[in-house]
Amino acid sequence: MYRVVVEKGNLRFSAAHFISFGGKCERLHGHNYAVSVELEGGLTEDRYVFDFVVLKKITRRICDSLDHHFLLPQQSKDLDIKKTDGEWEIRFENRRYVLPAEDVLALPVDNITAERLAEYICGQLVEALHEHDVANLTSVTVGVEETAGQTAFYQRPLS
């Protein structure tokens, strides 16, 4: 089994969020996230796992889609979320946030944790990878670093 990893460089995005947990909700804040991607599998006829350049382009495109947004967990059970004409209203207990729609990226997740971001990015990556020959790949792992020394990983098998 072989493995390739892309990370660092421009595989980053900046975004705002908050996490709800244990009946509480963090303050609104942001991170300069870093993303790493690992593909595992056999070698192709050209003797590589996957083209680094293509993998970086795909990952960069995903990072760009997340960059400079408020990331909204659309499936949250803790938040009261309403989208009105041109804005999102988000409530948690006595807190109320109203954000312009163009600044919000609603994600199909239940919380904006590094773990869920890694899972979301992995799903986006797998969709994009299927536009290429990936018969040799067995798994993809995505890491999302929130801050130096704090990275969450999500691994998904490929078939």
CATH of domain 2-76+104-157: 3.30.479.10
pLDDT tens per residue, range 94-153: 999 999 999 999 999 999 999 999 999 999 999 999 999 999 999 999 999 999 999 999
Question: Which among 7, 17, 25, 132 is annotated as catalytic?
Answer: 25
Has residue 159 got a pLDDT over 80? no
Task: Please return the burial class of 66, using the count of CB atoms within 10 Å of its CB with bins 0-12, 13-18 and 19+.
Answer: buried
pLDDT tens per residue, range 30-57: 999 999 999 999 999 999 999 999 999 9
Q: 146 an active-site residue?
A: yes
CA atoms within a 13 Å half-sphere pointing along the CA-CB vector of 81: 18
CA 48, CA 10: separation in Å to the nearest integer? 23
The pLDDT value given to residue 37: 98
The pLDDT value given to residue 22: 84
Question: Which among 31, 38, 68, 119 is annotated as catalytic?
Answer: 68
Has residue 67 got a pLDDT over 90? yes
**Alpha-carbon distance values, 138 to 13, 27, 53, 61, 129 (Å):** 27, 39, 20, 23, 12
The pLDDT value given to residue 21: 87
Asked if residue 59 lies in contact with residue 52, where contact means CB atoms within 8 angstroms, the answer is no
Question: Which among 7, 87, 115, 146 is annotated as catalytic?
Answer: 146
Give the residue-averaged pLDDT of 14-43.
95
The pLDDT value given to residue 52: 96
Q: 68 an active-site residue?
A: yes
Task: Please return the burial class of 143, using the count of CB atoms within 10 Å of its CB with bins 0-12, 13-18 and 19+.
Answer: buried
pTM greater than 0.75: yes
